[in-house]
A and B are shown apart, each in its own frame.
Chain A
Amino acid sequence: NAGVTQTPKFRVLKTGQSMTLLCAQDMNHEYMYWYRQDPGMGLRLIHYSVGEGTTAKGEVPDGYNVSRLKKQNFLLGLESAAPSQTSVYFCASSYLNGLAGGKQFFGPGTRLTVL
């Protein structure tokens, strides 16, 4: 049982490049989330999903897109990366118990630098 995994762990992009971050969970969780963590800002929700085929915007969705084609995977895309998107990205998943009712399981994070 691997829990929540994220690929890649590190990435450096140039401004304007695109990339996709992959999150996978093997706990059969309905809810999945993408956060970004910046110094002094805590975690901010980018997008989330309440089930396969669904996505919704969080607090800071601009510049990102997501897809949940399979229940176990949640992809975060950056179509045209900007330096302001330099951050550590965390994926999380939780049981079906309301959006905030379930314990969230976090992945190890992806450190992204945009030059």
Chain B
Amino acid sequence: AQSVTQPDIHITVSEGASLELRCNYSYGATPYLFWYVQSPGQGLQLLLKYFSGDTLVQGIKGFEAEFKRSQSSFNLRKPSVHWSDAAEYFCAVGSGNTPLVFGKGTRLSVIA
């Protein structure tokens, strides 16, 4: 069965610092991989997705993620964090035949 692990429950970074959120997945075939963001009191919004091709994908709000098959990882990165990036981030994995499975999320706090 497919599964997603986000090892970090909570991360705090300084505004302007770089960010990396980790995501590891378990899936038999080549997965579809997603990162979603949830601001407080809101629904989820898609940041980026990977289906195939270039393993470095660009998303909205300056985020990018890199698919590494050998490490079963799809880590999310941003070179310079803004206070408005404070939110909860969810990694998800699925395929054309199975619904998405979400990780438990990583809460990002941004300090001045």
List residues of A whose CB falls within 8 A of some B CB. 4, 33, 35, 40-45, 48, 58-59, 90, 92, 97-101, 103-104, 106-109
Contacts and interface: CB of A to CB of B under 8 A. Distances in A.
Given A99-B97, A109-B43, A42 B105 contact: yes
A92 to B, nearest CB: 8
Interface string B72-112: 00000000000000000010111111111111110000000
Contact of B95 (A43, A48, A100): A100
Nearest to A33: B99
A100 B94 contact: yes
Given A100-B98, A100-B99, A104-B100, 17 more contacts: A42-B104, A43-B90, A45-B99, A45-B101, A59-B101, A90-B44, A92-B43, A92-B44, A97-B96, A98-B96, A99-B94, A100-B93, A100-B94, A100-B96, A101-B96, A104-B44, A106-B44
B76 to A, nearest CB: 15
Interface band, chain B: 20 to 34
A69 B41 CA distance: 29
A103 B99 contact: no
Nearest to A91: B43
Given A40-B9, A42-B104, A103 B46 contact: yes
Contact of B99 (A42, A99, A107, A108): A99
A56 B31 CA distance: 21
